[in-house]
Amino acid sequence: MKANTFVYDVGSTYTKLSAFTVNKGEINFIARTQVPTTIDDIGKGFQNARRNIEKADGCEISKEVMIFSSSSAAGGLRMVALGYMPRVTAKAAKEVAMSAGARVLEIISQEDQVEFRIQVLREIKPDIILLAGGTDGGDKDSLIENAQNIVKAEVKSVVIIAGNKNAQPEVERILKANSIETIRVPNVMPNIHELIAKPAREAIHGQFIKQITKAKGLKKMTSQISNNKVIPTPGAVLLAAELLAKGTHKEEGVGDVLVIDVGGATTDVHSVLPELEKLSIEERGLLVNNEKQTTYRTVEGNLGLRVSATGIIDTVGPEGALAKVDKKGDDLEEKIVEYAHFLERNTEHVGKTELEKEFDIALAISAIEIALKRHAGYIARNFDPLMGVAPGTPVGRDLRKVKYVIAVGGIFAYSSPEIRRYVLEKAFKNPGISLLPEVPCFVFDDKYIMYAIGVLAQEYPDMTLRFAKKYFKLEEESE
């Protein structure tokens, strides 16, 4: 079969390329490669990856190839989310931005002092500001005041206006009068029971492609892409998780899915719980509580196996990390600390000695366990009369019934089946009070193509879902 579809992922360190055949209602994986990202000209990395694919055994390339892409180059979009109430519209703005795959560097609410809000905008200099606040027909003043604060901060950000629809025309007028680019989308929280993420998410993705074309060679790269879209890589992974869990109009999904994506800089956890879409308004309550959202993503920016390796040691301690692989001793503690510092300076290093490989496993288990417990809810141990919580009450996102746990990242793609299963089993071994899956079925992204599944799903949803279920052997697991 000839490959007629390429899906690239342009990262800060590596450019990945996966080749597929899309034909007669079916998608087949052909080959995959990765090459160092050429920072001086991204297009060179594109070409190098294609040359590698052309050399792959059994891989023929069609004369006409469809090209799609995701990217995490330059670390993704820098975003600030503004809202009205910190536990309502401000949090809703954050969840929308996170689900789009952006880096949310600050969440600002009306409770923050005006001077603080302006200072944050000036210091962060975000690429995009997601401006929310007020339900439709509710508060208008906060949205207008924050528009004025954006003007005072003198930032060059693009502002996505996603608040009270009745205040949006005035907000747009204020910003445009000061030459600030704006995009209006439906309110992310039209009422306190409803979160509408898709229009704002699509606006963020649209801005993403405009922003990354500023990088060297990316403008030329984007001109080659068949659908003129570049999706942020974390957003692509989340889109793949949503496809698998929720399915399409024609193809049934597999139900609750938990995705663990371990990278060099961050550990991302995505959970999609389709059953939550069926909740009544009374059962749902305030949707901004993450336990009631169908889709939820968390990012641990200090837990990565290379760029953020010392963040893992800082969090669990060298003794705690070594305990994950049943090791201890002052000498080993010094060595794992030295190794973490070495990795941050040498992010392309691959563990060579047995000790380095054990350290990598220890860091991975530690990062995953921490990230999971921060993402999941817990069993309350104390009375909280204000929240109406008694000891033994589940609080937060309940993942206990989740069946499929999909593991993504180099530690899983390049390790033996025994090691990668060991990593997950150890990470899930001691849930404590956390509401983690009780009987998880571990599946692995062997080819490192979860991002490609998310990208292809935007063009061929039914075919991609059938391919994804076959690739992860989920249909076999259900039998």
Look at residue 52 and tell me whether its pLDDT is greater than 50: yes
Query: Is 190 found in the same domain as 108?
Result: yes
**pLDDT value for 224:** 80
Query: Is 289 found in the same domain as 388?
Result: yes
Query: Is 383 found in the same domain as 298?
Result: yes
Number of domains the chain contains: 3
**pLDDT value for 73:** 66
> pLDDT band at 460, cuts 50/70/90?
very high
Answer with the one of 24, 45, 74 that is the final residue of a domain. 74
Query: Is 132 found in the same domain as 110?
Result: yes
**Residue 329 domain-assigned?**
no
Q: What is the CATH number of the domain that holds 166?
A: 3.40.50.360
Range of the structural domain that residue 95 is part of: 76-212
Query: Is 133 found in the same domain as 261?
Result: no
Residue pLDDT, tens place only, 110-144: 889 999 999 999 999 998 999 999 889 998 999 99
Residue % of the chain over a pLDDT of 70: 92
Answer with the one of 183, 212, 241 that is the final residue of a domain. 212
Look at residue 404 and tell me whether its pLDDT is greater than 90: yes
Look at residue 51 and tell me whether its pLDDT is greater than 50: yes
Interval 99-117 mean pLDDT: 85
**pLDDT value for 215:** 60
Answer with the one of 74, 108, 123 that is the final residue of a domain. 74
Query: Is 252 found in the same domain as 129?
Result: no
Look at residue 479 and tell me whether its pLDDT is greater than 60: no
Q: How far is CA 220 from the centre of its chain?
A: 26
> pLDDT band at 287, cuts 50/70/90?
very low
Query: Is 129 found in the same domain as 86?
Result: yes
Query: Is 265 found in the same domain as 148?
Result: no
Residue pLDDT, tens place only, 416-439: 999 999 999 999 999 999 999 999
Instruction: State the angle between helix axes of 330-345 and 354-375 in degrees (0 to 180), rounded to the nearest 10.
Output: 80
Query: Is 397 found in the same domain as 273?
Result: yes
| pTM, entire model | 0.85
Look at residue 289 and tell me whether its pLDDT is greater than 80: no
**Residue 155 domain-assigned?**
yes
Query: Is 267 found in the same domain as 237?
Result: yes
**Residue 119 domain-assigned?**
yes
**pLDDT value for 45:** 86
Q: What is the CATH number of the domain that holds 65?
A: 3.30.420.40
**Residue 358 domain-assigned?**
no
Query: Is 241 found in the same domain as 207?
Result: no
**Residue 324 domain-assigned?**
no
**pLDDT value for 327:** 96
Query: Is 156 found in the same domain as 81?
Result: yes
